[in-house]
A and B are shown apart, each in its own frame.
Chain A
Amino acid sequence: DSGVTQTPKHLITATGQRVTLRCSPRSGDLSVYWYQQSLDQGLQFLIQYYNGEERAKGNILERFSAQQFPDLHSELNLSSLELGDSALYFCASSQSGGSGNTIYFGEGSWLTVV
């Protein structure tokens, strides 16, 4: 158990809908990351927050947004969903944003868009 908690574990929704994925980081970790894993793209970095502020942005679509709340939990919002958004979405956390920090991953949220 990494200590990173993600909900829901599985989600099936229709095209055009909006979903919210939730993440609780490990106790004491200030940095939260979101990654997308798909068969064709592999593991892609989406976005990072540090202590409530956006720190780095990757290949995140404009239809997607995220935030980190004062209690450090984070949410990833996916809207106007398309079939191609079906993927495993990982949340991860680390103590800070330094390069040597170990990043711990949750078990992921499986999103299926039908």
Chain B
Amino acid sequence: GNSVTQMEGPVTLSEEAFLTINCTYTATGYPSLFWYVQYPGEGLQLLLKATKADDKGSNKGFEATYRKETTSFHLEKGSVQVSDSAVYFCALNAGGTSYGKLTFGQGTILTVHP
């Protein structure tokens, strides 16, 4: 079946540090890949997405590249801010008989200190 594995957290960084959150997936076919973010006490917000191999999704300084050869979609940001503290979820949509449903990773808690 389809699955998503994220690096274990929590991740604690100082402001302006470089961020990488690893995400790998298992899926049949050609899934679309997503990063969602959940700020404290809020719902899930789409951060970025990529729908085919070698696509790069980007938003708010975050980037992730769809790597089919390594089945990965790692999230990166060059300089994190305190306001980036949140839980980050990697997800895939396998399409086909999965229709539109998302399969999520377990989430990675990011805390950024001033």
Interface positions of B from 3 to 43, Cβ below 8 Å from A:
30-32, 34, 36, 42-43
| Residues in A whose Cβ lies below 8 Å from that of B51 | 99-100
Give the total number of A-B pairs whose CB atoms are below 8 A apart.
Answer: 72
In the bound complex, do residue B104 and residue A42 qualify as a contact, i.e. CB atoms below 8 Å apart?
yes
Count chain B residues whose beta carbon lies closer than 8 angstroms to a beta carbon of A: 28
Contact among A31, A50, A56, A92 with B98 in the assembled complex (CB-CB below 8 Å): A56
Residues of A within 8 A of B107 (CB): 42-43
Would A100 and B43 count as touching, CB distance under 8 A? no
Check B45–A99 contact: CB distance below 8 A.
no
Q: What residues make up the interface of A, taking CB atoms closer than 8 Å to B?
A: 2, 31, 33, 35, 42-43, 45, 48, 50, 55-56, 58, 90, 92, 94, 96-108
